[in-house]
Amino acid sequence: MTELSDTILLAHGGGGRLMSDLISKTIGPRVYSSAPALTDAAEISVDDCRILFTTDSFVVQPLFFPGGDIGKLAVCGTVNDLAVSGAEPLALSLALIIEEGFPTADLERILDSIGKTAHRAHVAIATGDTKVVEKGAADGIFINTAGIGRKKLAASLGFHRIEPGDAVLINGTLGDHGMTIMSRRQELALQSPLQSDCASLNELIALLLEELSDQVKFMRDPTRGGLAAVTNEIVQACGCGIELIEDALPVDPAVRAAADILGFDILNIANEGKFIAVVSPEAQDAALEIMRKHPLGLKSAFIGQIGPKQPHSLVELTTRIGGQRIVQMPYGRELPRIC
């Protein structure tokens, strides 16, 4: 068990153990009347309608990167949190915190990106807020979005539905976003330029749920903390182990090269256009077929299986040479300001 430090660290925002402790020990007891489920979106009943509600803040640096920018990231991140929770995204709020002296041309570029991304995802920007702070107080621009969506009737998702033997799938290559951001910061000259996977996944996820219904048991987008964080959250919540297969993990060679150069573990790196799906074993092939027919799922893969439920279950990776490696929950934040 970790102890909270006297001050907040960058690592407390990394999606790992330190962040979990901050929420459970400091934030949660002071603001929630009961323990929250800590899913990507909260489910709220309004008359006979089930509404899903989420919020997120974006502080990425650099603001513009191959494959996207902070505006596209803000829309996609919030849409995806709703989609993996089983919702049809409907509307977003948009709050801007702008630093004094920020170039108007950059603001317009970000807003154009927000508008185009929201239009493609079929969500409305319904309300918003703008604040301007003193120079040096916001590192250019910060964005907060909140989103609401209507729960799909076909969606029955949750940790409680995961069972031994279920298949673990991903819709494409790991680590693209995180390594793109880090390569820009470090000015790496790679033979194959990296590009963020930033994308709205609601259309692909809707197809999967419509075709397979309750055979899809759980979904999560592996953003901060990457695949390692998501799989460890599953193990902690349902008590089953997870067996990942290193040879099955889809990774772009240029992303792997960048991770090796900078000393990062692909399993811990953030993604912004990927989702993990846990499906019943008999639905595995059908799920992959559906995913691979969509542009955002061309490289979908089976990457592992839910193991038996037992005390002290772990996430284990079968390596290329046939050994076993324990995949731990990331402690803090390997890649700060990644989203």
pLDDT, tens digit, 9 for 90 and up, residues 67-116: 999 999 999 999 999 999 999 999 999 999 999 999 999 999 999 999 99
Q: How far apart are CA 74 and CA 146, in angstroms?
A: 9
Instruction: Output the DSSP codes for 8-61.
Output: --GGGGSSSHHHHHIIIIIIHHHH-SS-----SSEEEEETTEEEEEEEEEE--S
For the chain, domains (ranges, CATH) are 38-151 (3.30.1330.10), 159-327 (3.90.650.10)
Tell me what percent of the residues of the chain surpass a pLDDT of 70.
Answer: 93
Q: How far apart are CA 127 and CA 116, in angstroms?
A: 16
pLDDT at residue number 61: 94
Instruction: Output the DSSP codes for 78-104.
Output: HHHHHHTTTEEEEEEEEEEEEETT--H
**Cα within 13 Å of Cα(331), Cβ side:** 5
Confidence of residue 38 (pLDDT cuts 50, 70, 90): low
pTM: 0.92
Q: Which two tokens stand for residue 159?
A: 């940790």
Q: Which two tokens stand for residue 89?
A: 């995204």
Residue 108: CB atoms within 10 Å = 10
- Type of residue at 253: P
Q: Is the pLDDT of residue 1 over 60?
A: no
Q: Which two tokens stand for residue 16?
A: 């790992």
pLDDT at residue number 155: 83
Residue 260: helix, strand or coil by DSSP?
A: helix
Q: Which two tokens stand for residue 194?
A: 């990296």
Confidence of residue 44 (pLDDT cuts 50, 70, 90): confident
Q: What is the DSSP letter of 329?
A: P
Contact 268, 208 (CB under 8 A): no
